[in-house]
């Protein structure tokens, strides 16, 4: 992880000047505020601000659902009820603003989650740092033979060395030319908005990203999944740790019902009921396609 001296000074100043407040705070999140948590080789995630905690979710639910929630005797039970029944609006009462430093190709995946407010570092106005992502050897993998979006076996030996050398050399050469175009001696140099064009997608960018807890959970359900690309999953897993400290009751419910849970189709549920009655259910008698059947068997741990 690389922080500029200015960023380090800003973090130290922010953490050295706590402000009194009348609003409810999360002690776990207070401990996280402003601290940069390293991700990948030069990236980080840090919490800039947040609103709400577990009690904000409960408070909003009791306002919006009124008497319908009074049978739930405790906050955790209510939060689990809300998560279990897909009641999303109470979770929207909590918000978080993150400062994230990440490779551009990860940012382009991340921005597909359009339920957030984003402000990104602009290479039209500022000069990018000479930082680009290089995969660690254990993450340098071949293309999967069965999944067009995934990785296969880890590359080794000369093939791995060649790939890493090309990645590093190409990024270095592109950045050399970028800097040369900006500062041509004796001339004005190329405009920043044009000089950036040849930079690779491995170059790091930064942004402020603000979202509510409901949409953050959706992001984490997809990007912290084992099938997600490793690089964005590394950021998602760091954010998971932050959320677990921020709203521990909501996190436990999310971990149980979303990350660790599974959804069955009507046909899948029918097959489970038939199996419990002792029937020998096969793919042919299930009404499912071969792909659906494989996924179903994996969910019930028979694949």
Catalytic residues: 223
Compute φ and ψ for 46, nearest 5 degrees.
Answer: -145, 145
Indicate the pLDDT class of residue 22, thresholds 50, 70 and 90: confident
Quick: pLDDT tens for 222-274: 999 988 999 999 999 999 999 999 999 999 999 999 999 999 999 999 999 99
Tell me if residue 264 falls in helix, strand or coil.
coil
Provide the CATH topology of domain 5-130+206-259: Gyrase A; domain 2 (3.30.1360)
Compute φ and ψ for 213, nearest 5 degrees.
Answer: -65, -35
The rounded radius of gyration (Å) of the Cα atoms in the chain is: 24
Computed over every residue of the chain, the mean pLDDT equals 91
Helices 266-276 and 290-299: crossing angle, nearest 10°?
60
Examine the pLDDT at 36 and tell me if it is beyond 80: yes
Q: Where are the domains of the chain?
A: 5-130+206-259, 134-201, 266-299
Examine the pLDDT at 197 and tell me if it is beyond 90: yes
Q: How far is CA 221 from the centre of its chain?
A: 9
């Amino acid at each position: 992880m690389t922080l500029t001296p200015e960023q380090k000074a800003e973090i130290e100043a922010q953490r050295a000047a706590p402000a009194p407040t009348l609003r409810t705070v999360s002690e776990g999140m207070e401990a996280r505020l402003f601290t940069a948590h390293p991700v990948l080789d030069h990236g980080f995630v840090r919490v800039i601000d947040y609103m709400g905690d577990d009690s904000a979710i409960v408070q909003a639910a009791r306002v919006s659902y009124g008497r319908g929630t009074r049978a739930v005797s405790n906050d955790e039970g209510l939060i689990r009820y809300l998560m279990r029944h897909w009641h999303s609006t109470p979770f929207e009462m909590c918000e978080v603003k993150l400062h994230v430093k990440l490779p551009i190709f990860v940012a382009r995946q991340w921005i597909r989650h359009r339920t957030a407010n984003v402000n990104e570092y602009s290479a039209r106005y500022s000069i990018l740092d000479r930082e680009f992502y290089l995969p660690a050897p254990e993450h340098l993998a071949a293309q999967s033979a069965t999944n067009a979006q995934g990785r296969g076996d880890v590359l080794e030996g000369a093939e791995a060395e060649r790939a890493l050398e090309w990645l590093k050399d190409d990024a270095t050469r592109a950045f050399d030319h970028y800097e040369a175009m900006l500062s041509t001696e004796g001339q004005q140099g190329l405009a920043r908005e044009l000089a950036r064009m040849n930079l690779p997608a491995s170059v790091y960018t930064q942004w402020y990203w603000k979202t509510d807890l409901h949409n953050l959970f959706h992001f984490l359900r997809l990007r912290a999944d084992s099938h997600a690309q490793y690089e964005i999953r590394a950021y998602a897993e760091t954010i998971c740790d932050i959320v677990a400290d921020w709203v521990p009751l909501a996190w436990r419910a999310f971990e149980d019902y979303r990350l660790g849970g599974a959804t069955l189709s009507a046909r899948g549920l029918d097959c489970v009921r038939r199996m419990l009655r002792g029937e020998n259910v096969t793919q042919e008698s299930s009404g499912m396609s071969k792909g659906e059947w494989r996924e179903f068997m994996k969910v019930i741990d028979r694949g």
